[in-house]
Amino acid sequence: MSNSINPYQVTHPSDSTSAVDLRLVFDGAIGEDDYRGLLPRNWEWWLCMVLVVLLAICLALFTSVTVVTVLFVRDPLVAMTLIGCCAAMAVAFWLAARFVNPKVRARRVLTRNPDLLGTARGELNSSGLRFEDGIHQYWFGPTHMLGATITASGIRVGVDPNRDRYLALTDRLFEAYDPEAAHRLHHHWAVLSATPEARQRPGYRALWDQIGAAPAEAIHFRGGVAVMGEERQQRLAANVIIALLLLVPSYLNFSEPWTLWATGILVVYALAMNSKRWRSFVERQSQQVWNCDGWVTSNEVAINNGETGVRMPANQIEVSQIDDGLMLTTKGGAAYYLARDQLLEPDQWPRLCSSLLGSSE
């Protein structure tokens, strides 16, 4: 009997070469529901859930004690003290519950980061992610995309070290979303990022070669770039206040055994939530240094650091002259330092300064 091929059999290619021709195209607008639908549940979220349950138990027990005390002790001072403590505990419970509420969490982040919403157009392929928001054109390379989270409802792509800043590419934005295809692309990105030699393959930067194609009059640069970022003092203060409010209930009655382990959990929470922020607050700024290349014209700027890249209109950045270089600051807060010695043609420095300083006015 001769072998026959079943035309209805579903094939599942798993090798990296099968992902070379894969494309997941999307076109739409990211909304608050999209962002909320892909909110991560990290250890902080689970710890807050434990705290919410703990505070609920504490509040119930303490309220019962307060009611009994008020009814039988009949001491106005003691009654007012206990009622005040109950109110403080209720406020702490309300704040903790709001922190874990997806709708509140999403709205809190999006109020600070409105750029995470809006036009979303592009594609995912073997070279990473191309993303356009109507003004900027971004490339997120294979190594960066290894940090993307693929789910049945969409793909979450972080845009910087802040875990709250991500692109919420939900399934409704895609022409035909296929989680299996997304996982095959992820496997291919891992292969491309396995070694420094693999990153030199032509296909690694294929998307950036399309996005970052330079005009004939462009001034090219290559060299080290320092990215500076101020720590959000308001966010630090808010987290410290919340942590202190959460600690209040545990100090009310150390005679009960449950208050001891409750205090331990809350202290660990307060330290874990704020240790990194205190360090950044003391240093007042963070800095990342990496090599980059790109080009500048009077109308556009393109910068690539090897893992990610952006092409944007020159009027979207503010330019200031610092010593023997230029500080480029985007409206989103990212800052880049461009020095004279980074130009491939140093004699083009006066023209570059004239183009950028003129476009920022």
Q: How many CA atoms lie within 13 A of 239 on its CB side?
A: 18
CA nearest 97: which of 64, 59, 65? 59
Dist. CA 184–CA 334, nearest whole Å: 32
Give residue for tokens 């200031």.
320
The predicted structure's pLDDT at residue 262: 58
CA nearest 307: which of 126, 121, 131, 127? 127
Tell me where in the chain the CATH 2.30.29.30 domain(s) lie: 219-231+284-359
Residue 108 CB: number of other CB atoms within 10 A? 16
- Contact predicate 354/338, CB 8 Å: no
- Contact predicate 152/179, CB 8 Å: yes
The predicted structure's pLDDT at residue 117: 94
Long-range CB pairs of 95-100 (<8 Å, 24+ gap) are 95/242, 95/245, 95/246, 96/48, 96/51, 96/52, 96/55, 96/242, 96/246, 97/52, 99/48, 99/242, 100/45, 100/48, 100/49, 100/52
What is the 8-class DSSP label of residue 306? S
- What CATH number does domain 219-231+284-359 carry, 3.40.1500.10, 2.30.29.30, 3.40.718.10, 2.40.30.10? 2.30.29.30
pLDDT tens, residue order, the chain (361 aa) = 444 444 433 344 444 446 678 899 999 999 999 999 998 876 666 766 777 787 788 778 778 877 777 777 777 777 777 777 778 778 877 777 777 778 888 888 899 899 999 999 999 999 999 999 999 999 999 999 999 999 999 999 999 888 889 999 999 999 999 999 999 999 999 988 887 777 777 788 889 999 988 999 999 998 875 554 444 444 545 555 555 555 555 455 544 555 555 556 655 655 555 555 555 444 444 455 567 889 999 889 999 988 899 999 988 888 888 877 888 888 777 778 888 888 888 888 888 888 787 655 4
- Contact predicate 138/152, CB 8 Å: no
